[in-house]
Amino acid sequence: MKVPISAITLAAALAIGFASPGSAHQETAGKLKIGHPWIREAAAGAPSTYACIIEIENDGDEPETLLGATVDGGGTGVLYQIVEKDGHFSSKIAEHGLLIKPHGAIELPPTAYQFKFGKITKALIADSMVEGTLVFEKLHAVPIHFMVEQDDTAPKEDAAPAQPVPPARPGPAKAKPMGYDLPWSKDLTW
């Protein structure tokens, strides 16, 4: 039997792809299936980074709540919800975590939820795995592995608007009428 070269090439490529560090992975914790937890690469000393999870399935008969995460070299991650309004992005802490209903699932794409980590103490290098935990209400801290990725698909939050700083004035100045002919406007001082 002759097998076309393209079929062999495809099979080899798929085998290599599934075995490579950059491929999706799944973790299991009790009745939970955690689909591809990953963290964005960051240099040691970087001010922050974020982590995401593609999906969490709950095959159990009891609900579970995702509360937080930790990553070796990144410390404790706080769960944030990403909010989009009129094309601008901001984030707010998911104070009560995320409920995973019995026999249900939640998706956590970077455009909707992120674990935000503060100062990075150890380099998080792309295409490697880093140890961490997910923190749940009932299961508590569950050890998992985060894939370190170059991905930067998360929306950029808008910076808080800068407050203008008025120029320093040596003393009170008289207000200029600014084109209004009001009798009291000439007496205003700043």
Beta bridge partners of 76: 70
Q: Is the pLDDT of residue 20 over 80?
A: no
Long-range contacts of range 103-109, CB-CB < 8 Å, 24 or more positions apart? 103/58, 103/59, 103/60, 103/61, 104/57, 104/58, 105/55, 105/56, 105/57, 105/58, 106/55, 106/56, 106/66, 107/54, 107/55, 108/52, 108/53, 108/54, 108/55, 108/56, 109/52, 109/54
Q: Is residue 45's pLDDT more than 80? A: yes
Q: What domains appear along the chain, each with residue ranges and CATH number?
A: 20-149 (2.60.40.1890)
Distance CA 53, CA 40 (A): 11
pLDDT digits (tens, 9 = 90+) for 112-171: 999 999 999 999 999 999 999 999 999 999 999 999 999 766 565 554 444 444 444 444
What mean pLDDT comes out for the span 8-24? 41
Q: What is the per-residue pLDDT across 65-117, written as a single tens digit (0 to 9) for each?
A: 999 999 999 999 999 999 988 988 999 999 999 999 999 999 998 889 999 99
Scored b (16 or more CB within 10 A) or e, 67-100 reads bbbbbebbeebbbbebeeeeeeeebeebeeebeb
The residues with which 77 forms a beta bridge, in sequence order, are 69, 117
What's the pLDDT at 98? 96
- Please say if the pLDDT value at position 178 is more than 90: no
154: which DSSP letter? Answer: S
pLDDT at 24: 76
pTM for the whole thing? 0.68
